Each structure stands twice: as structure tokens, then as C-alpha cells.
Amino acid sequence: MLPLSEGQAELRVRFGVRDTNPIELLAAGLPNGADTSALSVKMSVFSAGEANAPAALLPQINICNYGALSDSQCDKYLALLEALGPQPPSARTPVGPFPSFVPTIQPEFGVPWSAGDSFEFTLRLQEAALKQVFMCFEIFSAPSGPEGSTSPVPMLLASATVTPGQFAGKSADIIEAALLSAGCPSRPAGRLRADVLIGRALPASVLALAASATIPSPGMQADFPFTSLPSTAGSSADELAGVTLPAPTYGPVSGLGARRVGHRGAGASDRNVSPSPAWLSPLRENTLLSLLRASRNGADGVEFDVLLSKCKQVVVYHNTDARVRGTVRSDGDAGAQGFEDVVINLNQMSTKQLRSLHLGLTGEVPGADGQPADLGGDPGFECMSTEPGHGRAAGTVCPINQDPNASGVATASGQASTTPCVPAPGYMPSLQQLFDTLPPGLMFNIEIKFPTPAIVPDEVNTFDQWADRNFMLDEILRVALAPQPICARPIVISSFDPEICYLARLKQSAIPVIFLTTGGHPVYGAYGDVRSMSVAAAISFARVARLHGVCSFTAPLVEQPELITLVKKFGLSLFTWGSHNNDAKEATKARSLGVDGIISDLFHLPQAPTGEATLGDQ
């Protein structure tokens, strides 16, 4: 994949990724003799800006097959790879249902489609042209001839047009358009739904940083170094064929062993789980205190979560929302008021407001010294604790000084501490603070938080309330790609949001990108995206998006260790996360199978694990 150069944009329209039945036809609206048993979809892009605009542009096609992939077929996939030889296959080579990343030319009458298929239309163009193009979708079918024979000429059944105003200015959107009958354009013939993703180039100042970045590899080789690419190269098959590119080698660097990575710093500390696991960290997660403790206890790297505040600062915090208590006044009586819990998006608050809340890890929001926290002068909301003693349960941290070796643990008697809830040192730091404060050799795994369907309910976190994906990534990369005062550090970008991963890869090649997945394990429920429904689908997405690896929940890999081999056979790096990594035997087994990074919750211990035998001995 060629990173976008200045002024470029990439338009991707996906079918069958979040909606397994994106095309619905009404038989009454179709031409006579229409056979809907064999359909094809064609997409054309037209310019509305100039009278002498060129003819329709035909986007290229990636056949993705996400829905056709199943972890239960792992042995079959391994056999296909074995037949290809010992070397990992190039991402340009299809392997059974696993696609190539190279898009193909769209057929004259579109792409054959049936329920459950997934594919992507892709087109690279100048960003300025996005406001002047509209998309046309045509649905074809092979009509029936005499005695059920099939004519070689497909029949146009219906079409839909999407105007620029429906998607211009956004990073991602959902198209929902009426299909109109080809025989009678005023007659409804069904509906069409698809996902749109628009990738935009980094701002010029950040693009220059990306071109000159010298970031050490965290155990992965970048496939195409940014500086080796012609900045004007396009993305069509013809242009790719004319550009000499290095051989893709985007797998792990051998000989380094598995990276030991601290989860949210020294370990997760969210006690919103019953019963609370014994391995939970007593240190507030995602704080400078916790991150520094992990480094001092021998972690090779730290994983932490970032989101964008209302003032556009990249801050480190895990949850995307919080429950606050709002003041409710009766319309009929000006003097009457009550309280009501309200869930708000954290990106709707400034960094100063967020830090003033001292957000509890279970979603409750205690204020300092038990008083309601101030939301910056807004009289309509007060943030209050709903538990006595600030809700400090036994074993939770209430640090009172800057000593990273002081625990500040609440009383062990099971009674809540009455100590004022002083924020942990380095509470909700900015990403820049982490770069400025933590040891330069400590690897950063920057997980970008973004609400994903079926993880966060739509009524709580709507996409319109969140920062634009392109802008969010631009701000994160502005910090991550900047030259550091001491020396550069290894960095990885990861996210559960496939679009974030794709855009991060589309914008630059200096920092590796890995896709986070639960592998569709029932512990976490179903995600609303087929790319997240299995480890095999995650591999397929990594190939299509040219990602460097996958970071999987441990449970599917423990239940079916062959999946580790499958990821490695494709030449991808594999990181893992989950409670199994806190168990010595499971971690040892994962290392022996070639896992590149083990994200653990145990780096809050006085003596960090120095070998596989002690990992998880608590």
C-alpha cells in the first residue's frame, strides 16, 4: 500500500462488512423476467464539477471473503499454506479464501454478489474532487430466456445514486439509498446499504515528519519504507505494475523473542468485574505512575489507551464514556431540583475538565475530598460519588505522593477507605507527557479508542459525537512521529476499530499497525463487523489493509493453538492480550509457538517476571 501523498484521498465503499444483507430487492419493482438468483454490483464515480468532465471512473475491487472465513477451518488453511512452501506468502498472492491486497479491475457488469459476500470498491483521487463526485450503483442480473436458458447479456435491474453531500467532509459514513427500477425510474425496486471510508493525507507538517521518521522497529519490519516510495505514485493496478517496490517483508524480526508488554501500564485495575481477579493491579491504570512501574519492573513495552479530548489533546484513558450526576430542575417550579445520572462521551469534555473529575474506574465520578467536581462553570452538571468514602474498595490505589514505589493501597479489612480521593500521580496524562517522561527504550503500544458497534450502544456513543477519524489520527501521529529529544523509541499503533487501523496504515509507513480482535469469542459477545468475528477474518483484513500484524484475545488461541501457527505462517506479527497471559504455563506455551508480544497485567509486582517460569505466579 502506498501512503497518501499531499492532497490525495482514498474512497472505499464496502459491502457485506457490517451488514450481511446490504442489497434488498422488491420483486414488484423489477423488470419482467428478472432473475435475482445471480446478481452483480457495479459502482461508477462521476464528476459534477465541470461540464467537460471525463467519463465515469470505475473504482477497483478487493474481494475480501471475510464472512467465508472460519477458525474451525484452520487445518484446511494451514494445508494450503504448506503447499506453497516454507516462506510466508506475499500479501499480493491470494491463498484460498484469503485475498490479495492488490485491487483488481472492476468487470464490465460489476462484481458477482450473493448474500454473505464482502467486497470493497476503492478509488484514489484528489481530496478537492471529493466534493464534486457522486456515486452510481447498478444491480445486474442474467435474464431467463426460452425454457430457462440464460442470456449472456446481463440485465440491468435497478440503480441508486449517492450525491456528494451525503459523504463529503466525513471519514466514515453509512450509505442507505433507494434502488429505483431500471424499467421505470420512478418505481422503488429495493434498497442498498454500504459503508463508506474516506482516507485523507496527513497535513503537510505531519507528512514531512512521516517521511523523515526514524523509529526503531518493535520486532517488526515495515513492508515499504516511506522514503522509498515515489510520492506521486497512484494506486491502480497499472500504476503499481510500473513501480519497482521492495519485496514485502512485513513479518516479525527473528531472534528477539516475545516482547513483554505491560497492560495499561503495570496492569489493568478496573474492578468493575465480579469477582475481582487476584491479578488486578493496585495502581491506577493508564497513569504515569503505573507506566513507570512497569518499566522499572522489567517490561519491554507498555500498552495504553488514547482518545481525543474536546480541546483536541491526545489523553491517556481507557473508557470512552462516564456516568455523571446532573442537576435536573422542574419546569413548573423554579426552586425544585433533583439529580439524574447521565452518560456522556469523554471527548465532549476538555482535558482540564476530564482531569478535574478524577474518574472512577467503574464509571462513577468522585470529586476531590468528597465534594462534587466542577465541570468548568456549567451549572447544569455536577459529578458526584455514589459510594461512601469515595468508593475506595479494599486493594484499590489512592496514591498520596510522587514515589512510584508507594502503593497507597486502601484498607485491607474490606471497608472502604475514608482517605480523600487524591488523583494518582500522572493521572490522565497527555500522549506528549508519556514521550517526554518515560524511558526512551520503552516500547509504546498506542491503542486508539473509538466506539465500535456492539461494544458501545448507539444511544450512548454515536459516531457524530466523536472526533473525525482522520483528524484524530492526524493529532496522534503529530505527536508519535515528532523527533524525540533523547532518541526515538519503538512504537506500535493498534485499535479494535478496523477503520482506524486502515487509515493509520494509509497515512504513513513509519509506525507498524496491528489489528485488535476478540476473535469472535463469546466472552466479549458479537461485534457488528465481520472483520472482528474470527482470527481468520482478522488475518484477511490485515492482508487487505497491509497491516503488520494482529493482536488477539488469548481465549481463541488457547482453545485452538493452531491459530497461532496460522498467523505466523502468513508472516504477520502476533501480539496477545487476556487473562491467560497472567498464567505461567499458558504464557510459556505461547512463547514456544512464536507469539511476538505478550501483554500482561503483572508488572505491578515488586519483582517483575524475568522469565517464562515466573510469569503469572501469583
Please state, in angstroms and rounded to a whole number, the distance separating the CA atoms of residues 598 and 601: 10
Model confidence pLDDT, tens digit, residues 461-513? 444 556 789 999 999 999 999 886 655 688 999 999 999 999 999 999 889 99
User: Residue 302 is part of a domain; what is its CATH number?
Assistant: 3.20.20.190
**Quick check: is 509 in a domain?**
yes
Backbone angles phi, psi at 357, to 5 degrees: -80, -25
Residue that is written with C-alpha cell 482531569 in the block: 355
> Which of 201, 217, 234 lies at the terminal end of a domain, its last residue?
201
Q: Which pLDDT value is given to residue 226?
A: 30
Q: Give the count of domains, the chain.
A: 3
Residues 449 and 389 in one domain: no
Q: Which pLDDT value is given to residue 605?
A: 81
For the chain, list residues with pLDDT below 50: 145, 147-148, 221-256, 334, 360-423, 455-463, 607-618
User: Residue 131 is part of a domain; what is its CATH number?
Assistant: 2.60.40.150
Residues 565 and 606 in one domain: yes
**Quick check: is 90 in a domain?**
no
Please state, in angstroms and rounded to a whole number, the distance separating the CA atoms of residues 119 and 20: 11
Given a contact cutoff of 8 angstroms between Cβ atoms, the answer to whether 260 and 218 are in contact is: no
**Quick check: is 555 in a domain?**
yes
Residues 214 and 274 in one domain: yes
Q: Which pLDDT value is given to residue 273?
A: 55
Residues 308 and 376 in one domain: no
Residues 460 and 584 in one domain: yes
**Quick check: is 1 in a domain?**
no
**Quick check: is 2 in a domain?**
no
The three cell numbers of residue 15 are 459491502
Q: How many helical (H) and strand (E) elements, i.e. helices and strands, does the chain have?
A: 12, 22
Residues 128 and 214 in one domain: no
> Which of 174, 201, 228 lies at the terminal end of a domain, its last residue?
201
Q: Which amino acid is at 189?
A: A
Q: Which pLDDT value is given to residue 201?
A: 93
- Give the count of beta carbons closer than 10 Å to the beta carbon of residue 180: 18
**Quick check: is 84 in a domain?**
no
For residue 592, is it left (φ>0), alpha (ψ between -120 and 50) or beta?
Answer: alpha
Residues 197 and 225 in one domain: no
Given a contact cutoff of 8 angstroms between Cβ atoms, the answer to whether 505 and 546 are in contact is: yes
User: How far is Cα of residue 20 from the mean position of the Cα atoms in its chain?
Assistant: 20
Q: Which pLDDT value is given to residue 210?
A: 81
> Which of 201, 234, 255 lies at the terminal end of a domain, its last residue?
201
Please state, in angstroms and rounded to a whole number, the distance separating the CA atoms of residues 611 and 223: 31
The domain containing residue 382 runs over which residues?
319-425
**Quick check: is 75 in a domain?**
no
Q: Which pLDDT value is given to residue 608?
A: 42
**Quick check: is 85 in a domain?**
no
Residues 288 and 351 in one domain: no
Residues 439 and 411 in one domain: no
Given a contact cutoff of 8 angstroms between Cβ atoms, the answer to whether 31 and 144 are in contact is: no
Please state, in angstroms and rounded to a whole number, the distance separating the CA atoms of residues 449 and 452: 9
H helix intervals, 60-108: 74-84
Residues 411 and 463 in one domain: no
Residues 345 and 390 in one domain: yes
User: How far is Cα of residue 153 from the mean position of the Cα atoms in its chain?
Assistant: 42
Q: Which pLDDT value is given to residue 140?
A: 93
Residues 446 and 473 in one domain: yes
Please state, in angstroms and rounded to a whole number, the distance separating the CA atoms of residues 21 and 36: 14
